Amino acid sequence: MAALPRRSALGLVFMCCAFLPLAGTAVHVLGDERGLGPEFDGIGGLSGGGATSRLLVNYQEPYRSQILDYLFKPNFGASLHILKVEIGGDAQTTDGTEPSHMQYENDENYFRGYEWWLMKEAKKRNPNIKLIGLPWAFPAWISDGENWPYSYPDRTAYYISSWIHGAKLYHNLDIDYVGIWNERSYNKKYILVLRQSLDKIGLKNVGIIAADGKWGITNDLMIDPYLSDAVEIVGAHYPGTISSSNAKKTGKKLWSSEDYSTVNNNVGGECWARILNQNYVNGNMTSTIAWNLLASYYQELPFGRDGLMTAEEPWSGHYEVQSPIWITAHTTQFTQPGWHYLKTDGHLEKGGSYVALTDGKGNLTIIIETMTHNHSACIRPPLLPFKVFQQNVTFQLQGSFQIEILKVWHSKFNYDKKAKFFSQLSDIKLANGSFSMPLEVDEIWTLTTISTGKHGNFPEPPSSNSFPKDYRDNFNVKTPPFSEAPYFSDQTGVFEYFMNYSDPGDHVFTLRQVVTQRPITWASDADQTISVIGDYAWQDVNITCDVLIETANTGGVFIAGRVNKGGKFIRHAEGLYYWIFADGEYKVTNDLPGNTVLASGKSGTRAGKWHTLTLGIQGDVAYGLLNGYPLWKDVRVVQPCRGWAAIGTHGFELAQFDNFHIQAG
């Protein structure tokens, strides 16, 4: 029996020369004589839920393409099989809002946002990548103002079907699967109507995934044959590697359609390694999708750095390739959707797991992980105690496999020295279809017949650097590549480039807030709209912006500094907010809702006229100018002491912004 490379005391790897099993070895039989196991559906990443790829589009080349290569390029980095994106709904969905393709009923714009672009970039690198769309929120017209997307199932189905049809018509993108409503209630009638709507417009090949929450929908699938016929994939979120008994009884493919959600340090890498194997071994799930694809949003927003890698500094070009990229590669570079799992137990005698997959044409890939409990806890659900020990294992191939040599790839998490990820080691030679190997804890092995694996790399990206302390944007972009202005991160509402044909002066190209009704929300959106920008560490700032209130009598706009909350906590954001209103009043508040008023009075402002606001904060004192003249001063700012800059509106209303300029001390 051939023994796999064994490490010396110096950490080097060498071949054992004896063809004998290692002492205390457990034997695992891998064969296809009993037929193949379930079909493997691939490993993916999720962009959205929300605005998690927001800053990626603002990277300059070549860094943006490098990041995309690490994610999608076959045989290079993560080499993802699946890309899942949010179907934008104009509402806050964790780290920001993503714009809808239909902000009102007669509106269709299939160029808003960046998910279209991202899907095309993924397809450019891997034409075989599978695409999934899932809504978190919906525009208000879907339900005539109710916070519920199922009031008019035909209308909601039309909205979703239009997104899928638009992807093909305008971007030549074939969407493979669509979901119902992320982590919220499903509706049986709506699912049936959606299936009918898709079929009616020639989208029979688009599968429905349900219900992107817990396994509860399987209870209905067991008793409703019409619903069962409509649903192709049962997708659950954060299943803890376990699927329900009814889920298995449905006979449907089971996916962990959102998982991981853990900081991408070594613990995050081990979490990902463990669940990639054990979602199948324990739960019979044939696909796992990571939230999120890429941590490309301001780090101080919720779940900072919970991506497979990090790209949060487009202004510097700096990005970081963390361990989850290489953990993903252990599976994705040596398997493809359409391969099959072998029928084997998958549990190692002394802890850890393995999976074995084949293409049915003689190729074989084995992935082994030995992640320990304290080093592999994902953010959710709680991880029950377990033990993993060093051990020796033997694999015996049977059936049709005639394999003499396996390629070897290895990653080792070290907490007292530098970890090594995705290293190619010496091949192993099998003797009579068998090999043995020693396993340490906190490592992952791939043993494969596939010879195309590669640890891709680029020259080091630029060094990390903070957001520019002097930044301005006049929004004068005639043909913007994206609908959003660089670095602005919408937290409620949607702020888009706008061409103001009617303006007689210098405000032809502006940034406009365009959501005029509160959407069907997923998180706790604010009652005001707001977009943040800059460095969360900023304390002393001077912010100037031209603003145009478009709503007479009740309209209002603000600029702000030291904004200390975002994402799903945006309703409770504190800071220093300088408001002017269409009724000729101004207000200075310590919070976004405007409950804590620090100053107020007459401003003479009105709708339809451009005004220039200036907000200065120095230490614990703030002042405000209107059109270059002092309007208020000596306002005390006790808390917060740091935060982003921001612009926004009093409610869901149209308003424009121009000539934004910030100087930070």
* Residues with catalytic function: 183, 258
Handedness of CA 111, 473, 565, 380 (dihedral sign): positive
Q: Tell me 337's DSSP state.
A: B
Torsions phi, psi for 629 (to 5 deg): -115, 145
**Residue type at 76?**
F
Per residue, what are the HEC states of 77-115? CCCCCEEEEEECCCCECCCCECCCCCCCCCCCCCCCCCH
Torsions phi, psi for 574 (to 5 deg): -100, 175
Rounded CA-CA distance 539/108 in Å is 41
DSSP string, 129-168: -EEEEEES-B-GGGGTT-S-TTSSHHHHHHHHHHHHHHHH
Pairing of strands 285-291, 253-260: parallel
179, 235 Cβ separation under 8 angstroms: yes
142, 153 Cβ separation under 8 angstroms: no
Give residues with Cβ within 8 angstroms of 11, minimum separation 6: none
652, 493 Cβ separation under 8 angstroms: yes
DSSP string, 208-228: EEEEEESSTHHHHHHH-HHHH
Rounded CA-CA distance 106/587 in Å is 37
Give residues with Cβ within 8 angstroms of 401, minimum separation 6: 30, 31, 32, 358, 362, 364, 433
Rounded CA-CA distance 450/459 in Å is 27
Rounded CA-CA distance 9/559 in Å is 61
**Residue type at 140?**
A
Q: Determine the straight-line distance between the first and last CA of the chain, rounded to whole angstroms.
A: 68
Q: Containing H/E element for 329?
A: helix 323-332
Please state whether 399 falls in left (phi above 0), alpha (psi between -120 and 50) or beta: left
Give residues with Cβ within 8 angstroms of 376, minimum separation 6: 267, 270, 271, 273, 274, 383
Cα angle: 315, vertex 559, 313; to 5 degrees: 15
Exposure of 478 by Cβ count < 10 A (0-12 exposed, 13-18 middle, 19+ buried)? exposed
Sheet holding 644-649, edge to edge: 489-492, 529-533, 644-649, 556-563, 574-581, 585-591, 597-602
82, 287 Cβ separation under 8 angstroms: yes
Q: Containing H/E element for 118?
A: helix 115-125
User: Tokens 């504190």 — which residue?
Assistant: 574
Give long-range contacts, CB 8 A cutoff, 24+ apart: 472-481: 472/659, 472/660, 472/661, 472/662, 473/511, 473/660, 474/509, 474/658, 474/659, 474/660, 475/509, 475/510, 475/511, 475/657, 475/658, 475/660, 476/508, 476/509, 477/509, 478/509, 481/57
Rounded CA-CA distance 205/321 in Å is 35
